[in-house]
Amino acid sequence: MFRTFLRGRCLTTALLASPATLLAQRDSATTRIVPIWRDGQLVTRVSGDPNVAGAPYVIRIWNFANQIVLPHTHPEDEHVVVVQGTWFLAAGERFDRARLRPLAVGDYALVPRGHAHFAWSKGMTVIQVHGIGPFRVDFVDSVFVLSSSGAIAHFRDTRRPLSPSEVAARFRYRLGDTVAVGQSWGIVREAVASAANGVAQYIIEQPGELPSLHDETALRPRSRRGGP
């Protein structure tokens, strides 16, 4: 069970942007923030070290608009406060939009250790997470990630390299591909996919714009003539 506090009411519910630009936004913890880019997300360390077992920590996680956080668990309790945007949260081992519950700025949620949950961001969203380390994301099902660090499969608390055939099976587009995004175009910079959840999302870099995140179904191969 998740315990969520929404604007002073306690309820019980069943239950991967430009880093420089994001950090330039007004933030009371700016002087203590240490940015870390990890698997499509900007994570800022506000206090402590989330990798140290038994030690308290505070971090902030920046989510793109439309970003899906695939079902996962944590080895310790997770305390979440929304500090920007609207974050949608639900419990379960499969991503299901119908089960998502909105959390606005200032809302709090407690996710007990070992409880599977997933989330989605309507717009650019920042959540502050605190707890006792280690902070680790253990995916319920295999999650495939393409990034500058390589092609990796994540499952539970393990990871392994993806073979070229696995990459071809999981991703329609590769890093560096040019794709059409609406009436414009952009370059694929990172991607994440989950066959079990029917999810494939890509971080796209467009000329003169901040990086944005798109579902695979919203992208099209750019024509060989150089237009969308």
pLDDT category at 75 given cuts 50, 70, 90 is very high
Name 213's bridge partners. Answer: 203
Please give the domain boundaries of the chain with CATH numbers for all domains: 2-136 (2.60.120.10), 139-221 (no CATH)
Residues 6+ apart with CB under 8 A from 192: 16, 39, 40, 70, 143, 144, 145, 146, 199, 200, 201
The phi and psi torsions of 158 (rounded to 5 degrees) equal -120, 160
DSSP code for 7: T
pLDDT at 4: 53
pLDDT at 57: 96
Q: What is the pLDDT of residues 24-54, one digit of tens each?
A: 333 444 333 443 444 546 888 999 999 999 9
Count CB-CB contacts under 10 A for residue 84: 18
Q: Which of 36, 59, 35, 16 is nearest to 146 (CA)?
A: 16
pTM of the model: 0.81
Mean pLDDT, all residues of the chain: 83
